[in-house]
Amino acid sequence: KQVTREWQPRQSVVDVGGVRIGDGSFTVIAGPCAVESREQMASAAAAVARAGAAVLRGGAFKPRTSPYAFRGLGASGLDHLVAARAATGLPVVTEVLTPGDVDTVAERADMLQVGTRNAQNFALLEAVGGAHRPVLLKRGLSNTVEEWLLAAEYVVSHGNADVVLCERGIRTFETATRNTLDLAAVPLVKSLSHLPVVVDPSHATGHRHLVPSMSLAALAAGADGLVVEVHPDPENALSDGPQSLTFEMFDDLMARLRRLAESLDRRLATAPSQENAANAG
């Protein structure tokens, strides 16, 4: 109800550490799937900042399908994110897995991510609804648009209006791609809801060579931004290496996004520190 255009016709703008998502600009959120070490995070952060990303991502608490896979560094991963933010000026978004971790993560991160596996974990949705941090809400693996919007309603109705929706692909019969990117959901959800909508082409496709074209398509479809996985050494990444872009691929993608944005009368969002640097220079 509160997430609908009937309730609020005006587009919501969500402020993430000074970066405004939903204001008409296109916000690129980038970084590795998982925080693996201080050096890896520093290297990825410097590269995505240089290429023009506005927000840094990296998972400290990782939801993994197998309990034997790398499940993240936990609290020390948050420290590496804080250090990377200090070095680059990019606000950070990271996933929170349990209601008990919400305060710890909210203390360090600028935005809380709720992952696809937790998209209908109503206790977690209520907990982030009580947090004083914006929320990046992934669409559940098999969620309809209505279920996804109702998940957002849990957060908003618990007092947190700063929700950004993320289409990250849904489960279908197709296995050639990791998931099926539902790009039509972008203009559909934007017509139904005033909340900003971003697209994650990395988890949606599972293959790095498909990420640039789906990123451009997301911009063309009217998304408010992207979440893209980028890794200093994708071949040796501890999670999601096959879908992670190299620095070179990310540089190239940013240049192409900039050209497409211009032709659509849009611009790529910049981090506050980058604006200061641009004004000073």
What is the contact surface with ligand PEP in residues (CB under 6 A)?
A: 33, 59, 63, 115-117, 138, 168, 200, 203
* b (16+ CB within 10 A) / e for 192-207: bbbbbbbbbbbbbbbe
Positive or negative torsion for Cα 83, 244, 111, 64: negative
Listed in sequence order, the residues at least 6 apart from 29 whose beta carbon sits closer than 8 Å to its beta carbon are 53, 54, 55, 56, 57, 93, 136, 198, 225, 226, 227, 228
DSSP 8-state symbol, 57 = E
- Least distance in angstroms from the C-beta of 117 to ligand PEP: 6
Q: CB under 8 Å to 14, separation ≥6 — which residues?
A: 20, 21, 22, 134, 162, 163, 164, 195, 196
Which one of Mn ion, ligand PEP, none interacts with residue 116, CB within 5 to 8 A by kind? ligand PEP
Among 123, 172, 122, residue whose Cα is nearest residue 144: 172
Q: Tell which phi-psi region holds residue 10, choosing left (phi > 0), alpha (psi between -120 and 50) or beta.
A: beta
Among 90, 186, 240, 253, binds Mn ion (CB under 5 A): 240
Binding partner selected for residue 138 from Mn ion, ligand PEP, none, CB under the kind-specific 5 to 8 Å limit: ligand PEP
Specify the stretch interacting with Mn ion by CB under 5 A; choose among 20-28, 36-44, 239-247, 260-268.
239-247
Query: What's the maximum distance between 2 C-alpha atoms anywhere in the chain?
Result: 52
Please name which of 30, 34, 20 lies closest in space to residue 239, comparing C-alpha atoms. 34
Q: How far is the CB of 278 from ligand PEP (least distance, A)?
A: 29
Q: Which one, 115 or 234, has the nearer CB to ligand PEP?
A: 115
What is the contact mask toward Mn ion in residues 22 to 51, using x (rule: CB under 5 A)?
A: -----------x------------------
Cα-Cα-Cα-Cα dihedral sign, residues 256, 261, 262, 268 = negative
Q: Which is nearer to ligand PEP, 59 or 129 (CB)?
A: 59
* Residue 33 or 111 with smaller CB distance to Mn ion: 33
What residue 178 binds from Mn ion, ligand PEP, none (CB within 5 to 8 A, per partner kind)?
none
Q: Which is nearer to ligand PEP, 59 or 234 (CB)?
A: 59
Q: Using CA of residue 67, residue 228, residue 95, residue 59, what is the dihedral sign?
A: positive
CB nearer Mn ion, residue 101 or residue 153? 101
Partner that binds at residue 63, options ligand PEP, Mn ion, none, CB closer than 5 to 8 Å by kind: ligand PEP
> Measured from the CB of residue 33, what is the shortest distance to Mn ion in angstroms?
3
Q: Token pair for residue 72?
A: 């993240």
What sign results for the dihedral spanned by CA atoms 253, 219, 231, 174? Answer: negative
Residue closer to ligand PEP (CB basis): 198 or 216: 198
Is 182 near Mn ion (CB under 5 A)?
no
Name the residue number minimizing CB distance to ligand PEP: 115
Residues of this chain that interact with Mn ion (CB under 5 A) are: 33, 240
